[in-house]
Each structure stands twice: as structure tokens, then as C-alpha cells.
Amino acid sequence: MLLTLSAFVLALGLLITFHELGHYWVARRAGVSIVRFSVGFGPVLLRRRDRHGTEWALSAIPLGGYVKMLDEAPPDADEVTRRTAFNAQPLSRRAAVVAAGPVANLVLAVLIYAFLGLWGTQEPAAVLAAPPAGTPAALAGVQDGDVLRAVAGDPVASWPQARWRLAGPLSLGGRVALTLESANGTVRDETVELPSRDVAPNDPDPLEAAGLSLQAPYPVAGELVPGGAAEQAGLQAGDRIVAAGDLDRPSVEAFVRTVQAHAGQPLRLTVLRQGARVSLSVTPRPETGEDGRTIGRIGALIQAERPQVLVRLGPLDSVWQGVRRTADMSLLTLRMMGRMVLGDVSWRNVTGPVTIAEYAGRTARIGLESYLGFLALISISIGVLNLLPIPMLDGGHLLFYLIEALRGGRPLSDRARDVGLRLGLGVVLGLMVLALFNDFSRLFS
């Protein structure tokens, strides 16, 4: 619970503060006077004023931050102060300052993805399992053990990359070309027909529904019990079990069931040890299980292992990957929003702080790479949502500026802006209520 809360607070504080830094950086260069930049909300704990007159504050509630500009100069202000007020700036500068926050979030996502590509990550290889009969993958000819090498002509080095490339086609439907390498090394192209489908949060994984899933992990021998049946049979820690009795390439669960069913009976094993196949015969020792039945045990910790690949890119390729992944995710987010409006995607997909906190905790437990990927996704979401043309959001202010530009520099009347802001507030509050309702529905269902 503490890790989940800490990961959530860190994520929200970092992403919102970076958003506000975008506004600050452009406003400063546009000559706008900055009254305060606060990290956090509520009572100020520490404060310092810089040479520009900006107060830098650390506040008590670490859920983001804010930048306060001089929106309008007071009546008795001198001419220099009047020129530094936000409302006194040309339309182009005001628009740049407002757009800078969402753009900063998108830039942060690019930087995170670029860092992950440059640092290198261990990821599961895209080795596919046999697709269930009748699924799009089965109809396309995907076979057990095929390695996915490219999606629509774009090379993929791992399963996470393949999932990324398939996210758009899976949500929108259509034909997608897969480049596959079979177990004997033959490379071929197959075309999968993916139907357009409704998307709801409780639906099965759309990749699995399409018949595309990873092969089950190999059982691998871990720690051995001294003097146990496995050690006496010659099994060694690190041996990968590729056959057990009549089972070829058993899953961990299937291997454990086979061992339990062979109490007191010899069981032939084939293991992969340092690249070489080794044949063994082990006799599981009979023991009484929790339900009173006699089962076999070999005295070995059996672990699950999938083939892994190190995905590491050069500096330019890392930056290009960051730009492309950020752009792809932004477009996919907009498409999903559009389908939500049309009714093709369930409104139950709208999530709020409870779900975000849950995933922050999950990814933090997995490791730094997973948590950074989560931060990139949330940063993209913040950037895209804030660019929507809804008054109260940055995109709403940009909409007002666009209307002002179309009117030859004449801004909307105060009444029109007030009506727009009230409507925007209603939309934002409605989305917040929906997100919290969905969060708590998942929590208590």
C-alpha cells in the first residue's frame, strides 16, 4: 500500500510539475512576469525569490504544482510592468505559453522512451504459441513456435514492441501483415484479418482473442533439495526441461502435474544444458498431498523462464523511437476517444486516480523500466487530454485564441467566454465523476 501511494504521488507530482515547467519556460522567454512557481499545493513550506522576482515555493501537498503569472497589470502599474502582463502579449505568444504545458508532457514521454531505448531493456522474445482454431491468427497460418519479426513491415525485436505495433490494428480492425520466422528458420509473410471490435476494460486481451499470444514459459530447474530425487537423477540448477515422458515442451503446470502423477515411477526427462540436450530418468518420491492423495515430488524448485532479448538502440534510433512511440500513442488515444464518442468503445475505459495509483504500484513493483514506461504513457495522456478543445483545459484556451484570430484579433466577449468556461467546467466535472465511478466500480466488483 505504501509503495502504491508513493509511486502514485511521485508520478503525479513529476508529470504535473513538468507540465507547469513547460508553461513557465515559454512564458519566461515571451517576457511574461511570473509571480510564483510552486511544487505542490496548499500551505507553503519553503520559498525563495529569484532575481526576476519569481517566488519559488515548496508546498505541503505534493500532487503536482502550478505556475502563477501576472495575468493583468494593476491600474497603478508602470509601463514596464504593463508590458510583462500575460493579457498584454500578442496572440501568438499567449498561444505558445498555453500550448507549452501539454507539449512539455509529450516531450517528456519522448525523452523517457529515448532513455529506455538507449539504456537497453530485457524483454520477452516474440515467440508465438499455437493459435486456437478459428481465430484470425489460426486462419492466417500462424504456427506454434513462430517468431514475430515484423508488423506491417516495421521490424519488432520483442513481444512488447509487437504489442505496440499491433495496438492500432487491433482497436480499429483491418488487414495487417506479419513477418514470421518458423522454428526451422524459414521466413514468410502472413496477413491477419482483424475485425473491428468494441473495447471494454473487462474484455479478454484483444491479442489473445485474435490468437496471438506468447508460448508458455519453459520449466527450469532452480534450487535442488540435497539428496532429493532430482539431484540423484543428475538434474542441475539451470536445466531447461524440454520434454517429460510423452510431453514435448511442457508448460510449468503440465510438468508439475506429470511429476505428481508418476509417484514411484521412472519419468524420462530431456533437458537443455548449456545448449546441449541431456536425457535423464528421475523417479518422483511418493508423498501425501494436502488432500490426502499420494503424489510424486522430485525435490526441485521449478521456475518459469521465457526467452529474453536485450533491446538496445543507438542515440539517434532511441530518439526516433521516442518520437514515434509518443506520436503513435497520441494518435491511438485520440482514435479511442473518437470511438468512445461514437459508442464503439465503452465509457468504462475512462479511469481516474484510483486506477492510476493501482498501475503505478504494479509497475513500481516490477522494476524501474516498467515504471518509467508507465510514466511515459500517463504523460502522453495528460498532454493529449489538455490539448482537447474543451474550455477549462489548455486546448480550450487555444480554441478561444483561434476564434480571436479568425475574428481579426477581436477576442470573444466576456459573456461568451464565461459561458464557454461554464460548459467546459461541466464537461470536466462530468468526466471526473465518471472516472471515479468507474474506479470504485472496479474496486468493489
E-strand ranges in 274-406 read 276-282, 285-288, 294-297, 300-305, 308-311
Q: Residue 343 — left, alpha, or beta (φ > 0 → left; ψ -120 to 50 → alpha)? A: left
Neighbours of 164 (CB within 10 A): 19
What pairing do the DSSP bridges indicate for beta strands 154-155 and 121-124? unpaired
Neighbours of 44 (CB within 10 A): 14
Distance between CA 259 and CA 296 in Å, rounded? 6
Question: 275 with 95: CB under 8 angstroms?
Answer: no
Question: 423 with 336: CB under 8 angstroms?
Answer: no
Distances (CA, A) of 269 to 100, 234, 252, 253, 304: 62, 11, 14, 16, 17
Nearest-5° angle of CA 390, CA 395, CA 400? 80
Q: What are phi and psi of 69, to 5 degrees?
A: -100, 165
Question: 22 with 105: CB under 8 angstroms?
Answer: yes
* Catalytic residue, candidates 20, 79, 208, 305: 20
What is the enclosing helix (H) or strand (E) of 247? strand 247-248
Give the cell for residue 366. 516490477
Distances (CA, A) of 220 to 29, 129, 239, 296, 299: 59, 18, 6, 18, 13
Question: 155 with 192: CB under 8 angstroms?
Answer: no
Residue 193 a catalytic site member? no
Nearest-5° angle of CA 133, CA 139, CA 140? 135
- The catalytic site residues sit at 20
